[in-house]
Chain A
Amino acid sequence: MLEIKNLHARVNPEEGEALAILKGVDLKVPAGEVHAIMGPNGCGKSTLSYVLAGHDGYEVTDGALVFEGADIGALAPEERAARGLFLSFQYPVEIPGVPTLTFLKEAANAQRRARGEAEVSAPDFIKLARENAAKLGISSEMLKRPVNVGFSGGEKKRMEIFQALMLAPKFLILDETDSGLDIDALKVVAEGVNALRSPDRGMLVITHYQRLLDYLKPDVVHVMAAGRIVETGGPDLALTLESQGYEKYAGAAA
């Protein structure tokens, strides 16, 4: 479903030299599977998620991104979103003055228009929002607030998954969705994510902790270090990392 081939990417900061971050990432996530990516701070996990989503702050210098058989490397972020890519941000952004539901309805309809589908009606959308909010324990007061404004770290993560439920994307990239969530919230959010699991949907879950993976039960676990996937294994690999850390990959930076 998603295939990342020899992906190289760098940032070109306003000051200073270009900095290579992704140095040949190879990864395949077939439909229906959940893959986890683990790796030390700064190894390029969030960068990979941004590059997948089409952030123009990163320059792809080599490699390809193939989604459902099509090269999406040249598409704008909104075009990738319309094809079904959803990124749950490690740091969700506050958007003052734009109410959450207004924003989401507009996003949903923009995606539908781009796909040539009929727009969702306001009553249907509100109904769906109520159902999904109830699943995640989100109050109607929270939905009225501007996008992410004034929410705690954990509330923001919860709202990201609420957005995913509302937009029902084909492919989810969860960038540390578990960080900031308390133990109970993590369970609720994981259940929300699991509700999205289906044979035609794929997920890439970036995390530092086993706890989320206990709930999500990934099919495959990848280790990323210094901008590359350095090891791939089954769910057990996460347990090994938990006990041994990333020390053995330290040489990968070379």
Chain B
Amino acid sequence: MTLPVKLSAFEAALAEQLPAGDLRAELEGRGLPHRRVEDWKWSDLRTALARLPAEAGELTLTMSRAPDARRPLMGAPDQIMARLAAALGGQAQVYDLHNGETVTLDASVAAGAGHGAVVVRARDGVHAVVRERYSAAPGAMLNLNVHYAISPRAHLTRIIEQDASPDAVIVVTTTMDLSQRAHAAQTTLGFGAKLARLETNISHGGQGASLEMNGAYLVGEGLHLDQTGIVRHTGPGGTTRELFKGAAAHGGRGVFQGKIHVERAAQKTDAKMNHRGLLLDGRSEIDAKPELEIYADDVVCAHGNALGAMDAAALFYMRQRGLSEPRARALLTRSFLAEPLERLSDEAVREALMARLQTALEGMS
């Protein structure tokens, strides 16, 4: 037994809102995740939150249409943030996607700590798009629990935009059940927060199911974005393709933790994961941990990870032609980050995300 930790005012306020029970006991016993917890070693949530005002807030969900139902949601036992979101966020908004529709979910918190939960199902054969957007005002915390259930032959496109949220904390924990023969394509464009963590846990059923997970991020001064993705192949013959590219500038920090876990039953899995980071100056930081954990013997799995600085020769070449240094940097950064976004099949969405990236780059230089 370890001794209970000394809770911060923020943690104590959270605990007080919880009914007596396992979750409260766990929070009081261990506190929130911090850097000595392996999965959070680069994202010290506990410290980030200890500096926020300890007040309850409200998570505002603005949706393109009313949900189909509401029901309580749980979180996986090892996901304390998802459990807190479910316990303190009231009933989950449940969406049953209609074929061909696009649903937009805009989650934000204006002040204090706001929690919420959303469930999205794509039933057999349904093709649909969900666009999510997260932001939090300075001093606020957004904690969201999202669950996707994707039935056989369903086809989900998920697009996530995480707005730069200085002095705020954003935690979104997603679990996704990808059934056999289902398809999901997730694309994230994130700009970080004082601490932002977008965690995606996918159970991949295989049997022709395919997953695409792409993301671009740009973190500037005082911003931190952690993208953690765990894909667990449970059935044979599944495909996964991941491409994440990110840039950090002016002391910003990016974290990529990607894991592909192939269970013994998941023979013939074909999975590739790639992360590439661009450090725009010496003050910035990107930490990456790509991992493969494979228990099946007949699989094709690969991962790659590379961190680098701006190409000095290209920069000089562009400046020799007359471009200012900030402009040359912005163009090179944009072209570096474009690749994951270019994989979006919907041209309008692709252009919209590229435009947001462009605006962010212009604001940064």
Across-interface contacts of B327 in A (CB, < 8 A): 106, 110
* Chain A residue with the shortest CB-CB distance to B336: A97
Q: What residues of chain B lie closer than 8 Å to A93, measured between beta carbons?
A: 311, 313-314, 316-317
Contact of B313 with A111 in the complex, beta carbons under 8 Å: no
A134 at the interface (CB under 8 A from B): no
Is B323 in contact with A106, judged by CB distance below 8 angstroms? yes
Residues of B within 8 A of A114 (CB): 322
Q: Which of B327-365 touch A at CB < 8 Å?
A: 327, 331-332, 334-336, 338-339
A56, A81, A94, A97: the one within 8 Å of B322 (CB): A81
B2 at the interface (CB under 8 A from A): no
Summarize B's interface: helix, strand, loop or mixed.
Answer: helix
A72 CB–B CB distance under 8 Å: no
Q: Which of B312, B314, B322, B338 contacts A95 (CB 8 A)?
A: B314
- How near does chain A come to B218, taking the closest CB pair, in angstroms? 15
CA gap between A241 and B287 in the complex, in Å:
56
B65 at interface by CB-CB < 8 Å: no
A190 at the interface (CB under 8 A from B): no
Query: B323: which A residues are within 8 A, CB to CB?
Result: 78, 106-107, 110
Check: A55 CB closer than 8 A to any chain B CB.
Answer: yes
**Other A-B pairs, 9, CB within 8 Å; known A82-B322, A94-B314, A97-B338:** A78-B319, A78-B320, A78-B322, A78-B324, A81-B319, A96-B335, A97-B335, A110-B323, A114-B322
What 0/1 pattern do residues 89 to 105 of A give for CB contact below 8 A with B?
10011111110000110
B318 CB-CB contact with A under 8 Å: yes
Asked if A98 and B335 sit within 8 Å, CB to CB, the answer is yes
Interface residues of A in 149-190 (CB under 8 A from B): 163, 167
Residues of A within 8 A of B (CB): 53-57, 76-78, 80-82, 86-87, 89, 92-98, 103-104, 106-108, 110-111, 114, 146, 163, 167
Chain A residues contacting B321 (CB-CB under 8 Å) are 81, 103-104, 107, 163, 167
**A90 vs B324: C-alpha distance in the bound complex, in angstroms?**
22
Task: Please report the C-alpha to C-alpha distance between residue A97 and residue B332 in the assembled complex, in whole angstroms.
Answer: 8
Which 9 residue pairs of A and B lie closest in terms of their CB atoms, listed nearest first? A97-B335, A77-B319, A107-B321, A111-B322, A93-B317, A81-B322, A107-B322, A110-B322, A78-B319
What separation, in Å, do the CA atoms of A82 and B327 have in the docked complex?
Answer: 15
Chain B residues whose C-beta falls within 8 Å of the C-beta of A76 in the assembled complex: 319, 325
Residue pairs across A and B with Cβ atoms less than 8 A apart, 10 shown, are: A54-B319, A77-B316, A77-B320, A78-B323, A93-B317, A95-B317, A97-B338, A107-B318, A107-B323, A110-B327
Which chain A positions have C-beta within 8 A of B314?
A: 93-95
A89:B322 contact, CB within 8 angstroms: no
Q: Which residues of chain A are near B320, meaning CB under 8 Å? A: 53-54, 77-78, 80-81, 86-87, 89
User: How close is B325's CB to chain A, nearest CB, in angstroms?
Assistant: 7
Q: From residue A184, how far is it (CB to closest CB) to chain B in Å?
A: 27
- Name the residue of chain B whose CB is nearest to the CB of A77: B319
Complexed CA–CA distance, A82 and B322 (Å): 6
A165–B320 Cα gap in the complex (Å)? 15
What is the CB-to-nearest-CB distance from B255 to chain A, in angstroms, rounded to a whole number?
25
The CA of A57 and the CA of B314, in the complex, are separated in Å by: 13
Known A98-B331, A98-B335: A103·B322 in contact at CB below 8 Å: no
- Collect the chain B residues with CB atoms within 8 Å of residue A77's CB: 316, 319-320
B318: nearest chain-A partner, CB-CB: A95
Instruction: Name, among A57, A81, A86, the residue most crowded by chain B CB atoms within 10 Å (CB to CB).
Output: A81
Q: Which residues of A contact B319 (CB under 8 A)?
A: 54, 76-78, 81
Report the Cα distance A54→B312, complex, angstroms: 13
- CB contacts (< 8 Å) of B338 on chain A: these are 97
Interchain CB contact under 8 A, A78 and B325: yes
A81 to B319, CA, bound (A): 8
CB distance from A118 to the nearest CB of B (A): 15
Q: Taking each of A53, A96, A108, which has the highest tally of chain B beta carbons within 10 Å of its own beta carbon? A: A96
CB of B318 within 8 A of CB of A103, answer yes
Report how far A107 CA is from B331 CA in the complex, Å: 12
> Please, how many angstroms separate the alpha-carbon atoms of A116 and B323 in the complex?
15
Chain B residue contacts of A97, Cβ below 8 A: 332, 334-336, 338-339
B332: A residues at CB distance < 8 A: 95, 97-98
Q: Smallest CB-CB separation from B335: which chain A residue?
A: A97
**What distance in Å separates the Cβ of B122 from its nearest Cβ neighbour in chain A?**
33
Q: Once bound together, how far apart are the Cα atoms of A111 and B323, in whole Å?
A: 8
- Contact A55-B322, Cβ < 8 Å, known A98-B331, A98-B335: no
Write the B241-267 contact mask toward A (1 if CB under 8 angstroms, else 0).
000000000000000000000000000
Contacts known (A110-B323, A110-B324); A89 close to B336, Cβ less than 8 A: no
Listed residue (A93, A104, A163) with the most chain B CB atoms within 10 angstroms of its CB: A93
